Amino acid sequence: MIVKQLSIFLENKQGRLTEVAKMLGEADVNMTAFSIADNSDFGILRLIVSDPEQAYDLLLKNKFAVTLTDVVCLLCPNTPGSLAKALDILNEGNVFIEYMYAFSTNEQAYVIIKAQDIEKCVETLQKNKLKLLAADDLYKL
- Predicted pLDDT of residue 39: 79
Whether 2-69 and 70-139 share one fold: the answer is yes
**DSSP codes joined into one string, 9-70:** EEES-TTHHHHHHHHHHHTT--EEEEEEEE-SSEEEEEEEES-HHHHHHHHHHTT-EEEEEE
pLDDT in tens, 97-117: 999 999 998 899 999 999 999
Q: Where do the structural domains in the chain lie, given as residue ranges?
A: 2-69, 70-139
**Which CATH architecture is the domain 70-139 placed in?**
2-Layer Sandwich (3.30)
User: What is the pTM assigned to this prediction?
Assistant: 0.93
| CATH class of domain segment(s) 2-69 | alpha beta
Q: 28-79 pLDDT, tens per residue?
A: 999 999 999 887 788 999 999 999 999 999 999 999 999 999 999 999 999 9
